[in-house]
Amino acid sequence: MTRLRRVGLALFAPVLAVLVAAVISSAVMAALQVDPVRVFQVMFDFGSTPDEQVTALVVILNRAIPLFLAGLAVAIAFRMGLFNIGVEGQYRLATIVAAAVGAAIVLPGPLHVLVIVLVAMAVGALWAGIVAVLKVTRGVSEVISSIMLNFIALGTASYLLTGPFRGSAPGASIVATKDLPESGWLPGINGVFSALGLVSPPRELYGFLPLAIIAGVAISVLLNRTRFGFDLKASGMSPSAASASGVDARAMVIKTMLLSGAIAGLIGLPDLLGKTHSYTTDFTAGLGFLGIAVALLGRNRPGGIALAALLFAFLDRSLVPLQIASYPASVVTIIQGTIVLAVVIANEIARRIARRQAERSSVLPAAAGPGAGGGGPGTGPTTPADDTDERQGAQA
Residues 74-93 that bind other proteins (CB under 8 A): 81, 83, 85
- The whole-angstrom separation of Cα 313 and Cα 307 is 10
Name the minimum Å distance from CB 202 to other proteins.
5
Residues 143-162 that bind other proteins (CB under 8 A): 143, 158-159, 161-162
Contact region for other proteins (CB under 8 A) — 8-16, 180-188, 253-261, 312-320? 312-320
Q: Residue 321, interface with other proteins (CB under 8 A)? A: yes
Q: Residue 362, interface with other proteins (CB under 8 A)? A: yes
Q: Quick one: 52 exposed, middle or buried, by C-beta within 10 A (0-12, 13-18, 19+)?
A: middle
Residues 100/184, Cβ–Cβ less than 8 Å: no
- How many of the chain's residues bind other proteins (CB under 8 A)? 116
Could you say which DSSP state residue 177 is in?
B
Q: Judged by CB under 8 A, which of 108, 139, 164, 171 binds other proteins?
A: 171
- The whole-angstrom separation of Cα 274 and Cα 174 is 19
Q: Which is nearer to other proteins, 114 or 241 (CB)?
A: 241
Residues 226-245 that bind other proteins (CB under 8 A): 226-231, 233-234, 237-238, 240-245
Q: Residue 50, interface with other proteins (CB under 8 A)? A: no
Q: Residue 203, interface with other proteins (CB under 8 A)? A: yes
Residues 67/291, Cβ–Cβ less than 8 Å: yes
- Cα Rg, the chain, nearest whole Å: 24
Could you say which DSSP state residue 275 is in?
I
Q: Residue 41, interface with other proteins (CB under 8 A)? A: no
Residues 65/209, Cβ–Cβ less than 8 Å: yes
Q: Which is nearer to other proteins, 197 or 246 (CB)?
A: 246
Contact region for other proteins (CB under 8 A) — 12-20, 104-112, 124-132, 278-286? 278-286
Residues 319/332, Cβ–Cβ less than 8 Å: yes
